[in-house]
């Protein structure tokens, strides 16, 4: 019984960190950003960011964030991600390291255009 309870707690924690939406961070159209004050970090993997680049971003794939966190300037951050899972993990990572994430953009590489999704439990919308 104790083992089952422990496994349930671990599973809940993992699911929360990956799939539960992060509060307080919304989609922001890249055109609306003040790039003098906000640093844009592209955390998609190298293949996706190379095939569908976003100009003016710092490319650090999510799997390399811990290794390269010292390269990121201490300013407000905006994340470029490929899906909601990357968004949740990336925002939680940067918050844990003391950064302020002000927004995100989901880039849909299949259609080679920007697809922005609102961070809420509502239906996704284009911003």
Is 60 exposed, middle or buried (CB count within 10 Å of its CB: 0-12, 13-18, 19+)? Answer: buried
Fold of 2-114: Oxidized Rhodanese; domain 1 (3.40.250)
d(CA 103, CA 24): 9
Residue ranges of the domains in the chain? 2-114
Determine the pLDDT at residue 110: 59
Check: CB of residue 79 under 8 Å from CB of residue 102.
no
Average pLDDT of adjacent 10-residue blocks, the chain of 127 residues? 91 82 86 87 92 90 94 94 93 95 84 43 34
**Residue 127 DSSP one-character state:** -
**What pLDDT is recorded for position 62?**
93
Residue ranges with strand state E in 1-127:
26-27, 38-42, 58-59, 76-81, 101-108, 113-114
Phi/psi at 79 (5° precision): -100, 140
């Amino acid at each position: 019984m104790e083992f089952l309870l422990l496994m349930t707690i671990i599973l809940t924690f993992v699911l929360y960190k990956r799939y539960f939406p992060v509060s307080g961070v919304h989609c922001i159209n890249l055109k609306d950003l003040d790039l003098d004050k906000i640093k844009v970090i592209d955390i998609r993997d190298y293949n996706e960011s190379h095939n569908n680049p976003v100009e003016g971003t710092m490319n650090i794939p999510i799997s390399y964030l811990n290794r390269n966190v010292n390269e990121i300037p201490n300013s407000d951050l905006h994340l470029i991600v490929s899906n909601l899972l990357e968004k949740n993990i990336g925002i939680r990572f940067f918050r844990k390291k003391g950064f302020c994430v002000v927004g995100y953009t989901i880039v849909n590489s299949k259609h080679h255009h920007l697809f922005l999704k609102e961070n809420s439990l509502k239906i996704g919308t284009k911003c």
